[in-house]
């Protein structure tokens, strides 16, 4: 599905081309008041790949992620400069419909945040709001989204029970299903597994690998093992700068920058 973000329609993503550029970040700076949190970032994010953002606490990873789908618009003292090109639209432009943008570029947060509603309603809530009323269409989307989020088999017999009765790992997969239901092209994952137990963590990692066939994924993680297992590209941020951005294998075996090497080898955190 392609959502109209501005007066100009977006071309649907070409799912077959795995190394095309979907997001082209150009001279991006981000400020919270006087705090220059993200400094002159240039970065091309590839379609149907997983890009991991790593770096020490406070280096700007989440700020960068939240800038992509304009979540930072909600922070009154915040200001972005530069461009984030999605196809041929600048997502930081003034005329962007941010609600449509957040459907096209969905986000999953660190802590699972399902609504206090049934599993079924968690997925259909936004769909109904966007005008889809037909029961069979809603049910088809519920099943498809839960299957893609590897949760269907565990919940298919209890769709009308509260989402809050699910385990933390299941709740997080439900939040991923809820994002999938909106048919995004890009999914932004902000430490999606850090609050989960090791088994749920492993399930989320398997799921990410599966999802990249259909979506572009950008994930913030503090877990170096996770970044090296799930991602194709890795970006190392330090103090607001993008220090190094390359194939994950290169970053973890032969980084070009000493600061990257020091970080991935645990010399600082």
Ligand X SMILES: Nc1ncnc2c1ncn2[C@@H]1O[C@H](COP(=O)(O)OP(=O)(O)OP(=O)(O)O)[C@@H](O)[C@H]1O
Helix, strand or coil, per DSSP, at residue 182: coil
Least distance between ligand X and beta carbon 192 (Å): 13
* Residue among 12 and 33 whose Cβ is closer to ligand X: 33
DSSP type of residue 196 = S
In terms of CB distance, is 23 or 177 closer to ligand X? Answer: 23
Q: How far is the CB of 262 from ligand X (least distance, A)?
A: 17
What's the token pair of residue 23?
A: 């997001």
Q: Are 185 and 105 in contact (CB under 8 A)?
A: yes
CB of 114 to ligand X, least distance (A): 22
Compute how many other C-beta atoms are within 10 angstroms of the C-beta atom of residue 66. 21
Helix (H, G, I), strand (E, B) or coil at 223: coil
Q: Which is nearer to ligand X, 18 or 223 (CB)?
A: 223
In angstroms, what is the minimal distance from the CB of 131 to ligand X? 33
Closest residue by Cα to residue 126 from 184, 87, 70, 75: 184
Min dist. Cβ of residue 143 to ligand X (A): 34
Identify any residues that bridge with 80 across adjacent strands, giving them in sequence order: 30
- Looking at the Cβ atoms of 31 and 115, the one nearer to ligand X is 31
**Six token digits for residue 85:** 């090109």
Both structure tokens of 198: 């090791």
Q: Which is nearer to ligand X, 61 or 178 (CB)?
A: 61
CB of 37 to ligand X, least distance (A): 4
Q: Please, which residue, 131 or 266, has the CB nearer to ligand X?
A: 266
| Cβ nearer to ligand X, comparing 57 with 116 | 57
Q: Quote the least distance from Cβ 53 to ligand X, whole Å.
A: 8
Rounded distance between C-alpha atoms, residue 157 and residue 209, angstroms: 26
List the structure tokens of 78: 């915040």
**Could you give the CA distance from residue 76 to residue 32 in angstroms, rounded to a whole number?**
9
How many other β-carbons are positioned within 10 Å of the β-carbon of residue 243?
18
169 phi and psi, to 5 degrees? Answer: -65, -40
Token pair for 44: 């091309």
Site residues for ligand X per CB under 6 A: 32, 35, 37, 55, 57-63, 75
* Residue written as token pair 């994950």: 248
Residue 39: name the closest of 64, 15, 16, 58 by CA. 64
């Amino acid at each position: 599905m392609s959502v109209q973000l501005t007066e100009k329609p977006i071309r649907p993503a070409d799912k077959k081309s795995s190394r095309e550029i979907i997001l082209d970040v150009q001279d991006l700076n981000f400020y919270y008041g006087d705090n220059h949190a993200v400094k002159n970032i240039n970065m091309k994010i590839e379609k149907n790949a997983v890009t991991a953002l790593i770096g020490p606490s406070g280096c700007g990873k989440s700020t960068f992620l939240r800038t992509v789908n304009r979540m930072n618009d909600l922070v009154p003292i915040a200001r972005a400069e530069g461009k984030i090109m999605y196809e041929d639209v600048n997502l930081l432009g003034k005329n962007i419909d941010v609600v449509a943008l957040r459907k096209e570029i969905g986000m999953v947060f660190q802590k699972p945040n399902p609504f206090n509603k049934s599993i079924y309603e968690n997925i259909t809530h936004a769909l109904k709001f966007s005008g889809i009323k037909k029961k069979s269409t809603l049910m088809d989307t519920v099943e498809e989204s839960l299957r893609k989020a590897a949760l269907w088999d565990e919940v298919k017999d209890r769709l009308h029970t509260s989402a809050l009765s699910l385990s933390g790992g299941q709740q997080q997969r439900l939040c991923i299903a809820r994002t999938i239901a909106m048919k995004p092209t890009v999914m932004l994952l902000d430490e999606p597994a850090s609050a989960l137990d090791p088994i749920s963590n492993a399930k989320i990692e398997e799921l990410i690998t599966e999802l990249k066939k259909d979506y572009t994924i950008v994930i913030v993680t503090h877990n170096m093992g996770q970044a090296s297992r799930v991602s194709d590209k890795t970006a190392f941020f330090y103090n607001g700068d993008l220090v190094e951005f390359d194939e994950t294998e290169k970053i973890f075996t032969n980084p070009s920058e000493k600061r990257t090497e020091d970080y991935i080898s645990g010399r600082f955190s």
